[in-house]
Amino acid sequence: MRAWAVVENGAPLQQIDLPTPEPKGTEVLIEVTHCGVCHSDLHIWEGYYDLGGGKKMSLKDRGVMLPLAMGHEIVGRVAKLGPEATGVKPGDVRIVFPWVGCGTCAACRAEEDNMCLTPRSLGVYQNGGYGTHVIAPHPRHLVDPGTLDPAVAATYACSGITVYSAIRKLMPIAADEPIVVIGAGGLGLNALAVLRALNHRSIIVVDISEEKRRAALDAGATKAVDGSGPDVAKRIMEAAGGPVLGIVDLVNGTATARFAFGALRKGGKLVQVGLFGGELSLPLPLMAIRALTVQGSYVGNPKELRELVKLAQEGTLPPLPVATVPQSQANEALMRLRNGKVTGRLVLRAEAA
């Protein structure tokens, strides 16, 4: 197999040849046809997360080994089944749930694999979709996209379930009660699509880019607020007609967390999703007096992936804009994302797909 791998943190991806893995036990070998390029790939490529105050969390210390084929938004064809794998056959097209764990703990057995304490996520702790082949540990990690565009379906494995799971944590909120989405990149447009599919009618998007705000309004946002400069919380509350009940922060940096927290109403909840980095100091009496919730949300689970794919198959989830790029241009795609030149999602496409 061939991979476009991180060989050195921060250096261009390199094309390398590896032995094609042989599926063991319940494993399924997948021939990758599509793989989304996710913003979190940039952090894996750089090798750390910024924790604020000059502190960094090294991914190497957390068990990320190089060389690594990144890529966790994978769609492909079943190529070969391990001796204990059932339920799929060679040639079947499947979305691969990448946030896999040990497979045996209570969280994994409850299909909350993303809450496993020993994560083995594809494209993070083991090779992912920036390659010609990938191993799925179990057929239950495979979801049939049906007639969905595979390039769009690939994005449901990360950006899709990430926003779906975050929005589920905010609900129930009445359809006309404003929900604020911070960040209008790939995740933001996905969040808009999911909220609309769930029949939510009042969605305020915040972004510093005028182009991305316009894309969000075109995609059905009720209002768009400029997230740059001072007084962003005030502008959000003006747009919402007062402090807001639910905010999803898809950027989650020091500046966005601060204005998001400042715009919450009594009983409000801020769900933090992005991995931009930084820190937030909370006024503790306000947390209590206003009964506020700040909750983190990390990707999603296989149940949520199946629910989201079902929503898409019912036709209520508008497909987000994707652009495909040949797999061999993985490095160029990653650099385009790094330079902030991407509206919607870039998806690597195998030459044969």
Q: Point out which residues bind Zn ion (CB under 5 A).
A: 38, 40, 101-102, 105, 108, 116, 158
Alpha-carbon distance 292 to 12, whole Å?
A: 43
DSSP-assigned states of every residue in 116-169: -SS---BTTTB--SSBSEEEES-GGGEE--TTS-HHHHHHIIIIIHHHHHHHHH
Residue 105 or 286: the one with the smaller Cβ distance to Zn ion is 105
Nearest distance from C-beta of residue 125 to Zn ion, angstroms: 13
Q: Which is nearer to Zn ion, 128 or 139 (CB)?
A: 128
Please say which residue, 132 or 190, places its beta carbon nearer to Zn ion: 190
Can you tell me the distance from the alpha carbon of 156 to that of 163, in angstroms, rounded to the nearest whole number?
Answer: 9
The length of the chain in residues reads 353
**Please, what is the minimum distance in Å from the beta carbon of residue 33 to Zn ion?**
18
Taking the complex as a whole, how short is the minimal distance between the CB of residue 152 and Zn ion, in angstroms? 15
E strands within 256-309? 264-272, 293-296
Closer residue to Zn ion (CB): 105 or 323: 105
Nearer to Zn ion, 81 or 124 (CB): 124
Closer to Zn ion by CB, 286 or 325: give it.
Answer: 325
Angle of the 254-262 helix axis to the 232-240 helix axis, nearest 10 = 40
| Distances 128 to 4, 121, 125 between C-alpha atoms, Å | 10, 8, 9
Minimum distance of Zn ion from residue 103's CB (angstroms):
6
Q: What is the distance between the alpha carbons of residues 143 and 73, in angstroms, rounded to a whole number?
A: 12
Q: How far is the CB of 289 from Zn ion (least distance, A)?
A: 36
Chain centroid, CA 60 distance in Å: 21
The CB-of-36 to Zn ion minimum distance in angstroms stands at 7
